[in-house]
Chains A and B, each alone.
Chain A
Amino acid sequence: MRLSEIVPLIELEPLVVIDEPNFQVETVCGCDLMSDVLAFSQEKTMLLTGLTNPHVVRTCEMTDIKFIIFVRGKRPPQDTLDLARERGINLYLSPLSMFECCGRLYQAGLGSETMRRID
C-alpha cells in the first residue's frame, strides 16, 4: 500500500517528510515499548505509537524503520522532530486512536509483520 493512500485513510498530518509519498508500506507495527520494537521488528515496517520522545526516533533508526505515526493526535516535542530530520526518518500525526488506526489499516489490507518468537 502506498503512503499516499494511507494519509487519507487514517487522516495523517505530515510533520517531517523525507521520502516520497509513493513509498510502499507492507506491514505495520503498533507498539509503545521500545525494546519490543527492537526485539520483534524483523523487517522494514511502519511504527504506530503513542509515545513522542526522541527515543522513539532512535529506536526506529536502529531497526531501519523509516516511518513513524504518532496516534491520538499527540504532537511530538521539538527535539523529536529535530532528531528525525537529522536521521532521515518520516513523521506523521494521526488524530485517531491506536485501535482505530490499526483497524482501518488492517481492513485496507495491510498485515502485521512476521514476529520472531522469544528464544
Chain B
Amino acid sequence: MQEQTLLQSKIEQGDFTRGGEVSSSLKDVLRKLGIKSETSRRVTIVTYELEMNIIIHSLGGEIEVLISSEQIKVVATDRGPGIPDVEKAFQPGFSTADDFVRGMGFGAGMGLNNIKHYSDQLTVETGQGKKSKFTAIICL
C-alpha cells in the first residue's frame, strides 16, 4: 500500500481550548481502520505530546499523519522558535513551561522522552531560531 494521509491539521500557538482535538480525531480514525489498540494508543500518545508541544512551546504549526502497509508516520512541524539544546530538551524533567501551563498539568518535562519511548523511530530537525520538525514512526 502506498503512503496515504490519514489526517492533516493546523495547530495554533496557545490554543489550549482545542488542544488534543487532533489526537482525539486521529484516535477515532485509527479505531475505524481497525488498528490494534496497543498500536493506536502509542500513536495517539505520540501525537498528543507533539500537538501540545506545538501549542505550548512554538509559534504554531501543523501535524500530518500518514499510513502505509508497514507503518504510521506522525510529522509535526512548526514555525519556530526552535530548540537550542536538543539533548537537554530530551532529558526527563527538563521543561521551559511557565506557571500557567504547569497549572494545567503540563511541564513535567516528560513529553519528548515519552515520544521517543513510544516511537519505533524518531528524527528531530531543529535549532535555535529555527523551525522544528519531528518525524515519529510507529510500525504496524
Contact = CB atoms under 8 A, between A and B. Distances in A.
Given A39-B113, A55-B20, A61-B24, A34 B41 contact: no
Contact of B106 (A54, A55, A119): A55
Nearest to B105: A34
B24 A58 contact: yes
Contacts of A62: 20, 23-24, 27, 41, 44-45, 48
Interface string B90-111: 0010000000000011111111
A32 B106 CA distance: 9
The contact size tier of chain A is 20 to 34
Contact of B105 (A56, A61, A64, A118): A56
Contacts of B92: 118
Interface residues of B, number: 25
A38 B113 contact: no
Contact of B110 (A39, A53, A54): A39
A69 B51 CA distance: 25
Given A35-B106, A39-B110, A116-B117, A55 B16 contact: yes
A55 B45 contact: no
Contacts of A54: 20
Most-contacted residue by chain B among A34, A56, A59, A61 (CB, 10 A): A34
A38 B105 contact: no
B117 A119 contact: yes
Contacts of B49: 35, 38
Complex A-B, nearest 4 residue pairs according to Cβ-Cβ distance, in ascending order: A58-B20, A34-B105, A35-B110, A35-B108
Interface of A: 32-36, 38-39, 49, 51, 53-56, 58-59, 61-64, 87, 116, 118-119
9 contacts: A34-B108, A35-B114, A38-B45, A38-B48, A54-B20, A59-B105, A62-B27, A63-B45, A64-B41
Interface of B: 16, 19-20, 23-24, 27, 37, 41, 44-45, 48-49, 92, 104-111, 113-114, 116-117
